[in-house]
Structure 1
Amino acid sequence: MKQRKLEMLLEQVEGFDSPNVNLEQYATPALLAAEILHFAYMQGDLEGTVFDLGCGTGMLAIGAKLLGAEKVVGFDVDNKALELARKNAGKLGVDVEFVHADIFEVDGHADTVVMNPPFGAQAKGNDRPFLLSALKTSDVIYSIHNCGSHEFISKFIGDARITDWYSTAFPMKRTFKFHKKEVEMVKVEIYRIVR
């Protein structure tokens, strides 16, 4: 499937009804989701089991399944988001398992993790438990982080290594009252990490 077609399908995924600022619930835009998932697909990393940590309403999990992942499991602590994720998966006709779990409770094994973890804007270090969980449960990780995170991630992942990374834009829609613009273009980095 071409990246543009995936993006068009993912535009049907509904975002959060009432996002929680403490959980940094920013919906991953379809454009960015299609970009990171197509990158993973081209590397051959979406063929087996894929976990989406902090899956929210299912954008990355659903996209991974649309690109042919054998089994996809999305994990999130927010039951309302998971209900919407199940509805989104049904709307797009894909079979994705959604599990209610705190990031510290995620277990099992995936060939690949795809995730858009909290950036730590509300509480510094919020992305760390997601990286630790991904390193514990998978062989390959695709993750979105604030621009300028390379040095931190390189040190934090220990023996794992960054094989690819690049900068792109995250068009963040106004989600909370403190946001001033309708859409803020946030510079982010996409990482491929191999354990």
Structure 2
Amino acid sequence: MKKKHLEILLEQVEGFKSPKPSKEQYATPAPVAAEMLHFALMRGDIADTVYDLGCGGGVLAIGAKLLGAEKVIGFDDDRDALEIARANAKKLGVDVELVCSSINEVCGKAHTVVMNPPFGAQVRGSDRPFLRKALELSSVVYSIHNAGSSEFIKKFISPSVITDYRLIDFPIKRTFMFHTKEVQVIKAEIYRIEKR
């Protein structure tokens, strides 16, 4: 499937109804999700089992399944978000498993983890448990972070390594009271991380 076609399909995915600022619950925009997933597909990493950590409305999990992953499991500790993800998966006709779990309680093994973790803008260090858990669950991780995070991530994940990354525009719609613009575009990076 071409990236543009995937993006068009993912535009149908609904985001959070009542997002929580402390959890940095921002829906991953369809163009960003399509970019990450197509990047993973081209590297041969959308295969076997794919986990989506902090799946929210399920855009990455659903996209991985649309691209042919054998088994996809999305994990989130927000039951309301998981209900939205279930409805989204049904609307797009894909079978993804959705599990209510805190990040520290997620277990199992996956071929690949895809995630858009909290950037740590509201609660400093909130991306760390996601990175730690992703590398425990899989040997290949795709993760989105603020642009300029590479030095921190390199140190934090060592001895694992960043094998590749993409700089992207990440549009954030006005979601919370403290947002002053209808859409704020920030620079972000998608990292491909390999466990060593």
TM bucket, shorter chain: over 0.9
In 2, Cα distance between the equivalents of 1:167 and 1:125? 21
In 2, Cα distance between the equivalents of 1:169 and 1:142? 16
Corresponding residue for 1:106?
A: 106
Letter of the structure 1 residue corresponding to residue 95 of structure 2: D
Corresponding residue for 1:52?
A: 52
**Structure 1 residue 126 corresponds to structure 2 residue 126:** yes
Calculate the aligned-residue CA RMSD, in Å: 0.5
Corresponding residue for 1:181?
A: 181
Letter of the structure 2 residue corresponding to residue 2 of structure 1: K
In 1, Cα distance between the equivalents of 2:70 and 2:175? 33
Structure 1 unaligned regions, length at least 5:
none
Corresponding residue for 2:26?
A: 26
**Structure 1 residue 160 corresponds to structure 2 residue 160:** yes
Deviations 1:40-95, CA, capped at 9 Å, x for gaps: 00101001100000000100000000000000000000000001100100000000
In 1, Cα distance between the equivalents of 2:98 and 2:111? 17
Letter of the structure 2 residue corresponding to residue 22 of structure 1: S
In 1, Cα distance between the equivalents of 2:134 and 2:186? 24
SS in 2 for 1:110: coil
- How many residue pairs align between the two structures? 195
Letter of the structure 1 residue corresponding to residue 173 of structure 2: K
In 2, Cα distance between the equivalents of 1:136 and 1:47? 18
Report the Cα offset of residue 166 of structure 1: 2.2
Corresponding residue for 2:169?
A: 169
Percentage identity across paired residues of the two chains: 67
Structure 2 unaligned regions, length at least 5:
none
In 2, Cα distance between the equivalents of 1:15 and 1:157? 29
Runs of 4+ aligned structure 1 residues displaced above 3 Å come to none
TM-score after normalising by structure 1: 0.99
In 2, Cα distance between the equivalents of 1:14 and 1:23? 18
Letter of the structure 1 residue corresponding to residue 114 of structure 2: V
In 2, Cα distance between the equivalents of 1:150 and 1:22? 24
Letter of the structure 1 residue corresponding to residue 130 of structure 2: F
Corresponding residue for 1:77?
A: 77
In 1, Cα distance between the equivalents of 2:49 and 2:17? 29
In 1, Cα distance between the equivalents of 2:94 and 2:186? 30
Letter of the structure 2 residue corresponding to residue 106 of structure 1: V
In 1, Cα distance between the equivalents of 2:168 and 2:93? 30
In 2, Cα distance between the equivalents of 1:13 and 1:167? 23
1:87-106 matches, within 5 Å, as: 87-106=87-106
Report the Cα offset of residue 147 of structure 1: 0.8
In 2, Cα distance between the equivalents of 1:153 and 1:62? 27
Report the Cα offset of residue 167 of structure 1: 1.1
Deviations 1:98-119, CA, capped at 9 Å, x for gaps: 0000000010000000000000
In 2, Cα distance between the equivalents of 1:59 and 1:98? 12
In 2, Cα distance between the equivalents of 1:158 and 1:135? 11
